[in-house]
Amino acid sequence: MIYTGYYARLNEYADAGLDPIAISGAVPDFYDLDKFRWWKFFAPSKDIFYSWKNGQITDEGYVARYISERLEVLDLEMVREKFLSSSCSGRLAKKLRL
């Protein structure tokens, strides 16, 4: 199962055996990049984020742009390789048939 969460709870996630992966455009200073992964390629662009934050696009517009500008152009083989090379690959990779 994949979960979303808060940076402030990173240690709780690690203690629970979860493998935190940041997908935001930036990470807090305390986010240990040697210990946790940062998959910035999933993050929305600054333009998408600030257009939504400033009310220039709706939630639906945000989702549509995120899908077309980020998800649809992802190199799926690169994502697959990153996933399989991470410590979270185990059972979930088998479930997803990666």
Looking at the domain assignment, is residue 2 inside a domain? no
Predicted model pTM: 0.69
- Number of structural domains found in the chain: 1
Q: Which tokens go with 2?
A: 């994949």
The pLDDT tens digits of the residues spanning 21-73 come to: 888 888 899 888 888 888 888 899 999 999 999 999 999 999 999 999 999 99
**Is 87 part of a structural domain of the chain?**
yes
Question: Does residue 60 sit within a domain?
Answer: yes
pLDDT on residue 94:
46
pLDDT value of residue 84: 77
Structural domain includes residue 1: no
pLDDT value, residue 91: 47
* Rounded-to-integer distance, Cα 17 and Cα 23, Å: 19
Instruction: Count Cβ atoms within 10 A of the Cβ of residue 53 and give its class: 0-12 exposed, 13-18 middle, 19 or more buried.
Output: exposed
Measure the CA dihedral 45/28/39/56, to 10°.
Answer: -20
Round to whole Å and give the CA distance between 60 and 81. 30
Q: Is the pLDDT of residue 93 over 50?
A: no
Dihedral (Cα; 14, 83, 70, 5), 10-degree rounding: -10
Query: What is the span of the domain harbouring residue 42?
Result: 7-96
Instruction: Look at residue 98 in the predicted model and tell me its pLDDT.
Output: 43
Range of 32-36, 69-73, 75-79, 90-94 with top mean pLDDT: 69-73
